Amino acid sequence: MTLIQMKPAPTHAAAAGRTVADAMVTAGPQVCDDMTVEVALSVMASARTGHLLLSDDSGLCIGLVTHAQLAAVRDGSAYSDRVRLRDILGDCGPFTSPVTTMAEAGHMMRHSGVDVLPVVDEHGSALGVFALAR
């Protein structure tokens, strides 16, 4: 029989120092803001994801939209199949840096009421997303 030495569970202090880079996942689909809502919903369904990162014409991340946001727009009385993502953007929520601590990012998310944060580098390019565990 071989003994396996297990690492002790991280203490609260060690977990508090972890950064978003330690827990973020790959960015997933990133689409241009000129895409229509219908196509964006189709991309989400194909990718089996609940969000899309949005980029501008230069490829920089400008925000994130969720399936719930797009479904609400599609179900609205003013909806047409020509509505583009840039038409509904408004406030796309906060962003975070990979060097932000997980505690700081979690606080920001709870304060702003979002479940997922885009993680961007110093140039505004998407690196991934950070989500709170449910």
- Among residues 45, 33, 43, 48, the alpha carbon closest in space to that of 83 is found at 33
Q: In the prediction, which pLDDT does 4 show?
A: 40
CATH number at residue 62: 3.10.580.10
The CA-atom distances, in angstroms, between 24 and each of 7, 8, 42, 113 are 22, 23, 24, 18
- Is the residue at 66 inside a domain? yes
- Among residues 56, 61, 49, the alpha carbon closest in space to that of 25 is found at 49
* Overall pTM > 0.85: no
One digit per residue, the tens of pLDDT, for the chain of length 134 reads 334 433 444 444 455 579 999 999 887 889 999 999 999 999 999 999 989 999 988 989 998 988 998 999 999 988 898 999 988 887 666 889 999 999 999 998 888 888 889 999 999 899 999 987 65
Q: Are 132 and 107 in contact (CB under 8 A)?
A: no
Greatest Cα-to-Cα distance within the chain, rounded to the nearest angstrom: 68
Q: In the prediction, which pLDDT does 33 show?
A: 92
Q: In the prediction, which pLDDT does 37 show?
A: 95
Q: In the prediction, which pLDDT does 91 show?
A: 66
34 vs 55: CA distance, rounded Å: 9
- Is the residue at 51 inside a domain? yes
The domain of 50 spans 19-131
Domain tally, the chain: 1
Q: In the prediction, which pLDDT does 114 show?
A: 85
Q: In the prediction, which pLDDT does 59 show?
A: 87
